[in-house]
Structure 1
Amino acid sequence: MKSSLQLYNSILRKKQAFSPINPENVRMYVCGMTVYDYCHLGHARVMVVFDLLKRWLRASGFPVTYVRNITDIDDKIIRRALENGESIRSLTDRFIAAMHEDADALGIERPDHEPRATEYVAQMQGMIQTLMDKRLAYRDESGDVNFSVRAFPEYGRLSGKSLDELRAGERVGVSGSKQDPLDFVLWKSAKPEEPADAKWASPFGEGRPGWHIECSAMSCELLGNTFDIHGGGADLQFPHHENEIAQSVGATGEGFAQVWMHNGFVRVETNGQSEKMSKSLNNFFTIRDILAAYDAEVVRFFILRAQYRSPLTYSEAHLQDAKAALGRLYNAVGEAVAVDAINWELDYESRFAQAMNDDMNTPVAVAVLFEMANEINRSQDAKLAARLKALGGVLGLLGRSASVFGKATVGQQEGLSEADIETMIAARAQAKADRDFAKADAIRKQLLEQGVVLEDKRGGATEWRRA
């Protein structure tokens, strides 16, 4: 099903029909994490959004090569390693492992390539030398190599900022030895206090790469000078992605990414007020914090219920609502097994595809799933339940049976074990057999207070799920 996918292209500021350079190999690069701490909900959104895009491209019949990088050298990493008294490699290995644990829990498939910046320093140095040879970069008095922004006339196209509008000190770092305050660093000269594992030999002197050059070198090395999709969070649009374009196009003379995609910010709702989630405001939540209280699939569903370019507002109420809504889908699916192949010509499937082809409009796609669930609840149509389960799988959802989902324990929460619950259900059944209905009702109430819902079925069987 190679279909009429429309994607919002940030550089054009509009949706356009997606036309891959090579339909047999869609190439996508997404800016990944800087690994000096645990991933937070903002990172989860980036990973989930582009995991979904990769899944939808493949469901639509496009083979995909997906690259998501890891930044494993920068100021924050060096500072944290020194504070901890450990090597940079030890620190980054530990948080890469933690990132993988979080991503796996959220049902995020591993990228085809996950390059670490420290493994591509030679390619970065080569790109920097090319930029210097083209007089697009220079070495300043401090020993840093900087990109000369005013030597690249197209600078500002992605962000919509003209050079005259940009001011030093706002969002662009300023160094007294730069030729222009808008210039940005490509190679940072080594400082005496920095550890040995933060320094590389180079034609420009000992030092390490700047952050922006990392993604340019890795994407061009793994995907070619021009590729299909470049993604990341909205906070990266300027200056990071703007700088990537300048470096990459400046070095290669080619077009770099055809489509630029940015997911919206995560906001936090507290006391009825919504504000951007950020470490500076100390209002961020790590993925691990959230998974300690909520099933990982509930968190994935919570992220996907919002269209990826819209703000995503975090609150306990929204997560509780996502939990209840996902439970309704699971109740409709029951114990069904997904159909082997989705028939996209059928009504529900066709409308689901139309929503996904409209710039991944997941709110509308999810609404189709609930329409199916309502019909299943009316008709008890087992075949429709199998179709619903298959469509849920496209979103990375509904991979379990209703009984397994309903009985899932959550993170580190304490509660009744399955054995405890079964013992209490047996005691309730005995109370009912003894016609001690007050005791039976008391057991049901006690279980409900512990977050366990009972459902009495025909024939006397009792099923249970966690609320």
Structure 2
Amino acid sequence: MHAWPASEVPALPGKGRDLRIHDTATDGLVTLDPGPVARIYVCGITPYDATHIGHAATYNAFDLVQRVWLDTKRQVHYVQNVTDVDDPLLERAQRDGIDWVALAEKETALFREDMTALRMLPPRHYIGAVEAIPGIVPLVERLRDSGAAYELEGDIYFSVESDPDFGKVSRLDAAAMRVLSAERGGDPDRAGKKNPLDPMLWMAAREGEPSWDGGSLGRGRPGWHIECVAIALDHLGMGFDVQGGGSDLAFPHHEMGASHAQALTGEFPMAKAYVHAGMVALHGEKMSKSKGNLVFVSKLRRDGVDPAAIRLALLAHHYRADWEWTDQVLEDAVARLDRWRAAVSRPDGPSAEALVEEIREALTNDLDAPTALAAVDRWAVLQQEQGGTDEGAPGVVTRSVDALLGVAL
């Protein structure tokens, strides 16, 4: 599976600082010091509907992580998956009378278009669950053969008790985990499981549903969590720098994935930091496909909204915050984009050297994009009210906003 084209990231004078970011597993800020190549895995979409603003906010957060690392002159090895076979996709295809493969391909293509328009830097490896199946099957077999997994009526389940570090990602108690498991794709009430929280690794073939050869596992398809584990271990290995996604993935997805990987390798942790973006609401409720309260990036683009304004609307909120999308949020972003473009359109202006460092400082402090935007706002006001004589300043601002914030002026 191919990703989307990369926009050029301008080189800036000087060098950025190491990123301090909130780690869910420790509930505190950690300073990341990757080697020459920073490694990040971000969980991708289940392509049964178009990219909504909640998706865009999540991928914007991890795009900022990449940009901070690139500013330190590191390379970035970014991996993202596509869950191109799963119950929600199959259910939507059946509801709409569409072939599930065609639906997945259509929505994945639209996602690529949205990411390109928003100037999100693409992953080096963009892997679908289906194409990962040959690598998933041996991992499930290893877990089963080691006693970390077991069979139940043809399905294979992971035993959470096989990982002594289970629970260290989300830091939730068993009762809270059980509630979230039921809400987020688990089956805690299924009879015969060793532990209600045990997640499925391999689902035996069901009539009328797609299935693949699973070797000694029999025909079936992979569970949700093992998919990402197989892709991450194959391309990044254990102990990579950041595992990212929305806050609703901390449990069960990232918790279970970490335990799968740790049981497979005997190493801890799977990732050095578990980083989670907040949820975006509409009309008082979390934006989600199940509720249907969605604002689609593609529709905003069709309506003539500049993708740079959409990106500024996302950047106006701290990535960990839960916030609500409103018409005013977009109007403010459009107005900000107009002010910035007017400011950099002049032939000269106030010196911008300090501004570059302000943006860097804000982003390295837990991706504080709102503070970075405020710094650019101040420069734009100074440009409007007083002007300046530095002929290079508008270009410095343009390149800095592009390189560090992903906004094209």
The alignment's TM-score, normalised by the length of structure 2, stands at: 0.89
Q: Which residue of 1 aligns with 2:84?
A: 72
2:127 pairs, out of 101, 115, 121, with: 115
Deviation string 1:438-467 (CA, Å, 9 cap, x unpaired) is: xxxxxxxxxxxxxxxxxxxxxxxxxxxxxx
Match of 2:199 among 184, 187, 203: 184
Other structure's SS at 1:114 match:
strand
Does residue 13 (structure 1) correspond to residue 20 (structure 2)? The answer is: no
**Root-mean-square deviation (Å):** 2.2
Aligned position for 2:252: 239
Alpha-carbon offset, residue 398 of structure 1: 4.9
Read off the aligned partner of 2:70 and give its amino acid letter: R
- What does residue 383 of structure 1 align with? 392
Report the 3-state secondary structure (helix = DSSP H, G, I; strand = E; otherwise coil) of the residue aligned with 2:82.
Answer: coil
> Given the alignment, which residue of 315, 332, 337 partners 1:326?
337
User: Equivalents in 2 of 1:73, 1:103: separation in Å?
Assistant: 21
Task: Say whether the 8 Å CA contact 2:49–2:289 is kept in structure 1.
Answer: no
Cα separation, 1, equivalents of 2:348 and 2:141: 56
User: Unaligned 5+ residue runs, structure 2?
Assistant: 1-14
Where in structure 2 are the equivalents of 1:187-336 lying within 5 Å?
187-195=202-210, 198-255=211-268, 256-268=270-282, 270=283, 274-293=284-303, 294-334=305-345
In structure 2, C-alpha distance between the alignment counterparts of 1:158 and 1:325, rounded to whole Å: 38
Q: Does 1:29 align with 2:44?
A: no
Structure-2 residue corresponding to 1:412: none
Instruction: Say which is worse superposed, 3-12 or 63-72, in terms of deviation.
Output: 3-12
Q: CA deviation at 1:84?
A: 4.6
Matched, 1:371 2:378: yes
SS in 2 for 1:167: helix
Cα contact 1:372–1:384 (8 A) shared by 2: no
Cα separation, partners in 2 of 1:397 and 1:5, compared to 1, 3 Å:
closer
Task: Please report how far the alpha carbon of residue 262 of structure 1 lies from its aligned counterpart in structure 2 after TM superposition.
Answer: 0.5
Per-residue CA deviation, residues 230-261 of structure 1 (Å, 9 max, x unaligned), is 10000101111000011011111122111111
Query: Residue 280 of structure 2 contacts residue 323 of structure 2 at CA under 8 Å; is this kept in 1?
Result: yes
Give, in angstroms, the shift of residue 350 of structure 1.
1.8
- Cα separation, partners in 2 of 1:52 and 1:224, compared to 1, 3 Å: same
- On the 8 A contact 1:35/1:70 being kept in 2, the answer is yes
1:278-319 deviations in Å (ceiling 9; x for gaps): 233332222222223322110001001111111232000111
* Pairing 1:101–2:109 present: no
Between 145-154 and 172-181, report the one with greater CA deviation. Answer: 172-181
Give how far 1:154 is off. Answer: 1.7
- What is residue 58 of structure 1 aligned with on the other side? 70
Local SS of the residue matching 2:62: helix
Task: Report the counterpart of residue 359 of structure 1 in structure 2.
Answer: 366
1:196-236 deviations in Å (ceiling 9; x for gaps): xx333331111000111100000000111221111000010
Alignment of 1:111-190 (within 5 A): 111-140=123-152, 142-163=153-174, 166-167=177-178, 170-171=182-183, 172-174=186-188, 175-190=190-205
Q: Match of 1:246, as an amino acid? A: S
Alpha carbons of 1:383 and 1:374: their partners in 2 closer, same or farther (altered >3 Å)?
farther
Amino acid at match of 1:358: N
Distance (Å, rounded) in 1 between the aligned partners of 2:394 and 2:338: 14
Distance 1:179 1:44, change over 3 A: same
User: Does 2:391 align with 1:392?
Assistant: no
Q: Is the 8 A contact 1:57 1:63 kept in 2?
A: yes
Gaps of 5+ in 1: 401-467
In structure 1, how many angstroms separate the alpha carbons of the residues matched to 2:73 and 2:43?
24
The percent identity for this pair of structures is 31
Query: Between Structure 1 and Structure 2, how many residues are aligned?
Result: 386
